[in-house]
Structure 1
């Protein structure tokens, strides 16, 4: 049994029990979960091992790379600029990024970028992980590229390109890289331990990701909801394969253990945070304190909801946030918004309940569909709220 530490309000005792079960029965190695309710941290738990190779314990200060949970952070940056009147979501991206008009993209808007409608989910030509550390190079590549479909007519998950596309718009409008903007405008003022571009001296705090277990791989193959996606991932001739394997990274996380990647800005998949900070961020959103109610109303209204050309299954997106669908569940009532990441990490808010939720881990789990570890924790949170 893992040594679970931290604090948990009495009414959220089911969350502690669900968290302990994740270690005892569901294979968690090291993890943390946190819940922010009406401006107060009511759950802040951690346990297990941050790095099995060295037996380094998961402590209060341990942070983890959260893959696509990062997209919610990048979305907040763009939404802040929109809220301030500095960014027009419906104007052509080329108005702030002239090179982007190339190859028939003159009418693409930032709204298209945020809702995965731009038709640029994959790189046309091979690109290396090292090249992806150079945001200027990546932006130039994407600016020169033709869309895969007519922008605005369909949507497909921009797993990696989303971050560099939205991040470049943030840079062009604000004059700051998205990681710096996030630090100066969001995480710094809130006192969050969340980074997009990790300072080298903080590397010892980062948990080491562990490969997916064989039984999880088998479960993915058997899940009817994601069988088509699994088949597409394994077929090198599909758009889905090109999206997830160019640059050549695996879905087990090993490439994302690189300190060089941690220091670089991958605004769709490279964020590093504690669960506590993730819950606090979404807790602020839940209580309309970071973004105005009107901004959040617009950001959490579905812009696209239907067949996803990359994920194959139905997906639903607002302005940068993922919304509940057959493979995304943010609370039993299906009213939350946020973003989950490969392997199991997730951050989301429920404005009606006033909660922000954050879960981070190092054991890569089922990246497709609802992760049983997260599902149990979320159900326990709502049990504490009296909404089981």
Structure 2
């Protein structure tokens, strides 16, 4: 494939990145993708290309959307920040203040900031628990309310891989009366004009790109004991990327990992963080609330992912040992990515938002070699 197979627009300084994308399509490293960079809400790069299906029969189009896995979490945590900004949630208050049942079995002191920053001790469901069980909102939230924490809340992070959407989303529901997907649609996506949703509606099924799973995750936990948070999180439930191609997955409300959009819409959804809270006249956050993102909540080896991570309030902060492409300098940066490589990065001191979404998943849970290469090329071009 050539640059002619890449669609969209980009400033001239991104020519090397455009060639990289074309090369990845030509070699099959990439199947279908979208990549977006904007500065204070104005795009400087908006590219897409490739195919939306494994058979290569359907082109990835401007309006193609795809499951972005855990790049959904930044949107879910944005919902909580918006409610905090409106004075409806105190991020340092106990979750049980809004969701009384959650206080059961030693969880009465777990704060909203803990569930947003993966330090609550409730990083998964007690087994037996299946992917399909997550689709039932009442069952999944009731189960989380009954559980005990798996480590002392607030003392360390342990990635809330599959359940952060239900944890944060139930607080959203109790406070607003709206489900998480309803709140995201009506209070974030619609005001910003972003083509992004938790799950996907039936009318959008034809636009959804097929997910191509990576090699199966290695769940050989070695010497890790069976009651370790890593084992319990990744077996409650056991992940299967093929689930994202099912109707059950698309119709569910799972703010941890079933957001559907593309790089353009993902960047638009998170651009309020980069732009001082207001994008094209739509104000969602105050600067004071954005500042709170950068209050460090945890810094060390994550109990679930087993790698060094720094967590701010709801978002990861730069940690070069784990995500080398995210700069750790004097300018503030926050981010998160999804299984297989999707990524969204916000730079509130510079007004820059970067997002990447794709359908051919790469190995790894936090970004990928591809996303690292694209981010590095973007930063090089913008120097």
TM-score, structure 2 as length reference: 0.91
How far did 1:51 drift? 0.5
User: Which residue of structure 1 lines up, in the alignment, with residue 292 of structure 2?
Assistant: 298
Q: What is the DSSP-based 3-state SS (H/G/I as helix, E as strand, rest coil) of the residue aligned with 1:156?
A: coil
Contiguous gaps of at least 5 residues in structure 2:
279-283
Give the conservation status (yes or no) of the 8 Å contact 2:124–2:237. no
How far apart are the structure 2 equivalents of 1:357 and 1:331?
11
User: Which residue of structure 2 lines up, in the alignment, with residue 283 of structure 1?
Assistant: 271
Q: 1:173 to 1:327 in 2, by over 3 A?
A: same
User: Which residue of structure 1 lines up, in the alignment, with residue 327 of structure 2?
Assistant: 332
Q: CA RMSD in A?
A: 2.1
How far apart are the structure 2 equivalents of 1:28 and 1:234?
35
How far did 1:296 drift? 1.1
How far did 1:50 drift? 0.3
Determine whether 1:101 maps to 2:103: yes
Give the conservation status (yes or no) of the 8 Å contact 1:196–1:267. yes
User: Which residue of structure 1 lines up, in the alignment, with residue 230 of structure 2?
Assistant: 240
Tell me which of 92, 99, 103 is aligned to 1:90. Answer: 92
How far did 1:4 drift? 1.1
How far apart are the structure 2 equivalents of 1:349 and 1:233?
36
How far apart are the structure 2 equivalents of 1:291 and 1:233?
44
Give the conservation status (yes or no) of the 8 Å contact 1:236–1:242. no
1:200-219 map, 5 Å: 200-212=202-214
Of Structure 1 and Structure 2, which has the larger fraction of its residues in helix? 1
How far apart are the structure 1 equivalents of 2:312 and 2:105?
26
User: Which residue of structure 2 lines up, in the alignment, with residue 115 of structure 1?
Assistant: 117
Q: 1:125 to 1:348 in 2, by over 3 A?
A: same
Give the conservation status (yes or no) of the 8 Å contact 1:327–1:368. no
Aligned length: 371
User: Which residue of structure 1 lines up, in the alignment, with residue 309 of structure 2?
Assistant: 315
Give the conservation status (yes or no) of the 8 Å contact 1:321–1:339. yes
User: Which residue of structure 2 lines up, in the alignment, with residue 353 of structure 1?
Assistant: 350
Q: Which deviates more, 8-17 or 236-245?
A: 236-245
After superposition, the C-alpha distances for 1:213-234 in whole angstroms (9 at most, x for unaligned) are: 6xxx8xx99xxxxxxxx75389
Determine whether 1:153 maps to 2:155: yes
After superposition, the C-alpha distances for 1:66-112 in whole angstroms (9 at most, x for unaligned) are: 11111000000000000111101111111111111110111111011
Q: Which deviates more, 122-131 or 193-202?
A: 122-131
Contiguous gaps of at least 5 residues in structure 1:
222-229
